[in-house]
Amino acid sequence: MYLPYSNKEKGGESCLFAYCMKRAGMLIPVLIGMTLVVFSIIRFIPGNPAQVILGQRATKEAVEQLTIQLGLNQPWYVQYGHYMLGLLKGDLGTSIRTGAAIAQEMKPYLFATLELTFFAMVLAIVVGVNAGIISAWFKHSFFDYAAMFIALIGVSMPIFWLGLMGQWLFSIELGVLPTTGREDVRNPVESITYIHTLDTLLQGRFDQFADSIKHLILPSTALATIPAAIIARITRASMLEVLHSDFIRTAKAKGVRSFFIIYQHGLKNALIPILTIIGLQTGLLLGGAILTETIFAWPGIGRYIYDAISYRDYPVIQTGILVVALIFVLINFIVDILYAVIDPRIKY
Amino acid sequence: MEAQKELEPPQPKDERSQSLILESVKQFFQHKLAVIGSVIVFLFLILAIFAPLIAPYGINEQSLGERFSAPSAAHWFGTDDFGRDIFSRVVHGARISLWVGFFSVLGSVILGTLLGLIAGYGGRVLDAVISRLFDILLAFPSILLAIAIVSILGPSLQNALIAIAIINVPTFGRLVRSKVLSIKQEEYVLAAKAVGMSHRRIVLRHILPNSMVPVIVQATLAIGTAIIEAAALGFLGLGAQAPSPEWGKMLADARPYLVQAPWTLFFPGIAIMLTVLGFNLMGDGLRDTLDPKMKKIK
């Protein structure tokens, strides 16, 4: 008997493993390149970086001390070697402003961002994929035109303006959602994992959980709008293509219910382009987080980097950018692996 | 001789190619959304070119007695915290945004095309090096890379433009590279090689002109993105500096007055959205008429 999914059988697992290893191998030059780019940030500052960081009024001694502290008096390859060794040991550098280890200091910010982007991504996928599917199924209907019009506007919207308008409408005019922040300052959440929705649930504090969700709505909606619009457009296009295939016609002829045709047969086959876009949108989300967090005073990594820029705290800027880029690369790596899991026709 | 003639790429002066161009133009004008997009872009171009004639007030003309006046017949879009006319500032802002959008994309197109041609035509080693470079640049979320570049160069509109140009280079580079790789195998290029044409001539006469269509489409779409990116940098204080009427900077300056005078935030945002929408619609239309194959990618 012919088994279309035969590589899931014996040997399929090791094949997938080999594919993962190959993809991981391809990541190495990119990762090294990324560290080089980030490492260069401070070295490319015109003039004496230590002077720029400390400002024009700094004493000569202070400038010299910082130069030594940052290792700027050594040749660049020695500096890079030290930098890489530090990274491998988990040493992400020291903040100039606070003097604290960045790896430690960054943790709460990082998890705050992950929480926000996770909610935004889920929202974007649920809204985008479903809007796209319904649009494709009811092609040229009122819903289709309305959804695609909104998607067009959504793609053209500056995210920071959308955030500001959301704040104005829902917080100031209607007063239904909090304007900024992540929690009620009079009723702070006790952190365990730094992910508030999870922490409050773990502690059984459902009042705080509801409050955390309320704080999440505006920023995650603002952040999700552009990806949702793009996902909706792609889903519609790839579903339209799939819905015209023979196997869908057969399923219809057999009398399979529309719901199953769409979600079981159609979506499964339209998933590859949708998945690609979801992977790419993560970059947009992580980049957009810096703007959203600024507007909503969300204490995430974007805000951490933004504050570091105004204090010219270059080690923090470097590490922040590197960490965000690492997450982006990692998510795209996972998407690549998922391709092979979803579609066995993809050659490992 | 006959066979060689058949292998030649369609020449621009050819009657057939002229009718193809006409056909594309006709199709473009039948594409309703594309026409709407072009009209929006055209209107903003008019605003930008004739800004000093259209704007009723100067961009920095202050009238402190009229601070935060709501939209009215005298001030269509209201006034801001210094009593400056927001309509006049938005009109002048069109100049800055279109300028940044156009020139940053021009920079990315030139640099991206050059690197893409070298990668696609210059052999394996160059291809590997340049492609890895693109991979590395694309590994950073674009706005973050722009922030990194501006934090090196220092915040200013010009540096924001440079940063935006750099972050979009890999998009064009990859596009041109993939196009070159496929054109390289076309029979007319092989024929040109066979008759002993120099590499420079092959690249300039055959490969470059034939890989430009997707670049033009992408460039139109990229102008929209570049305008948003410039506004984002301006909003973060890393692009245009006060008292520039750059739309992102205007939004940043008006932010504290969200409760008191929300109109100070409405109009610059709407201006950004409309301009970007115009370029997106135009780009979509161009893609559908010039390059139907790309339709599926977006």
Which ipTM was obtained for this model?
A: 0.85
Backbone angles phi, psi at A207, to 5 degrees: -65, -40
Candidates A27, A31, A48, A161: best to mutate against B (most CBs of B within 10 A) is A161
What is d(CA A123, CA A185) in angstroms, rounded to the nearest whole number? 26
The helix/strand/coil state of A70 is coil
Gap from B141 CA to chain A (nearest CA, Å): 5
Candidates A160, A174, A179: best to mutate against B (most CBs of B within 10 A) is A160
Question: Sign of the CA dihedral A52, A32, B181, B280?
Answer: negative
pLDDT of residue A9: 45
Mean pLDDT over residues A269-276, rounded? 80
Minimal Cβ distance to A161: which of B137, B154, B272? B272
On the CB side of A227, CA atoms within 13 Å amount to: 32
Mean pLDDT over residues B96-110, rounded? 96
- Which residues in chain A have their CB less than 8 angstroms from residue B147's CB? 290, 305, 309, 321
The helix/strand/coil state of A94 is strand
- Interval B193-204: pLDDT, tens: 899 999 889 988
On the CB side of B9, CA atoms within 13 Å amount to: 18
Minimal Cβ distance to A33: which of B136, B237, B274? B136
Alpha helices by DSSP H, listed for chain A, are 12-43, 49-54, 60-69, 76-88, 102-137, 142-155, 159-166, 196-202, 206-243, 246-254, 258-260, 267-295, 301-310, 314-342
- Residue A8: which pLDDT band, with cuts at 50, 70 and 90? very low
Q: Which two tokens stand for residue B24?
A: 């594309």
- Interval A189-205: pLDDT, tens: 888 888 888 888 888 88
- CA-nearest of B56, B39, B66, B65 to B90 is B56
The helix/strand/coil state of B79 is strand
pLDDT of residue B296: 43
What percent of chain A is predicted at pLDDT more than 90?
32
Pick from A35-49, A76-90, A111-125: least confident: A35-49
- CA-nearest of B120, B111, B101 to B211 is B120
Residue B36 contacts A where some CB pair is shorter than 8 Å? no
Residue B267 contacts A where some CB pair is shorter than 8 Å? no
Is the CB of A161 less than 8 angstroms away from the CB of B153? no
More confident residue, A243 or A218: A218
- Interval B209-227: pLDDT, tens: 888 888 999 999 999 999 9
Report whether pLDDT(A155) > 80.
yes
Q: Which two tokens stand for residue A132?
A: 């796209």
B240, B157 contact by CB (below 8 A): yes
Rounded to 5°, angle at Cα B165 from B160 and B166? 100
Cis before B243? omega within 30: yes
A239, A132 contact by CB (below 8 A): yes
Alpha helices by DSSP H, listed for chain B, are 2-7, 15-30, 32-49, 51-54, 86-121, 124-138, 142-153, 157-183, 187-194, 199-201, 208-210, 212-235, 247-254, 263-290
The helix/strand/coil state of B85 is strand
- Which residues in chain A have their CB less than 8 angstroms from residue B224's CB? 156
What percent of chain B is predicted at pLDDT more than 70?
91
Which residue(s) pair with B79 in the sheet?
B85
Pick from A152-156, A275-279, B118-122: least confident: A275-279
- CA-nearest of A173, A161, A186, A98 to A294 is A161
Gap from B224 CA to chain A (nearest CA, Å): 8
- Interval B224-236: pLDDT, tens: 999 999 999 999 9
- Interval A48-95: pLDDT, tens: 788 888 888 888 888 888 888 888 888 888 989 998 999 999 888 889
What is d(CA B246, CA B239) in angstroms, rounded to the nearest whole number? 9
- Residue A4: which pLDDT band, with cuts at 50, 70 and 90? very low
What is d(CA A66, CA B82) in angstroms, rounded to the nearest whole number? 41
Residue B143: CB partners within 8 Å, gap ≥ 6?
A287, A288, A290, A291, B229, B232, B233
CA distances from residue A109 to A92, A319, B265 in whole angstroms, order as listed: 15, 13, 29
Gap from A344 CA to chain B (nearest CA, Å): 22
Backbone angles phi, psi at A303, to 5 degrees: -70, -35
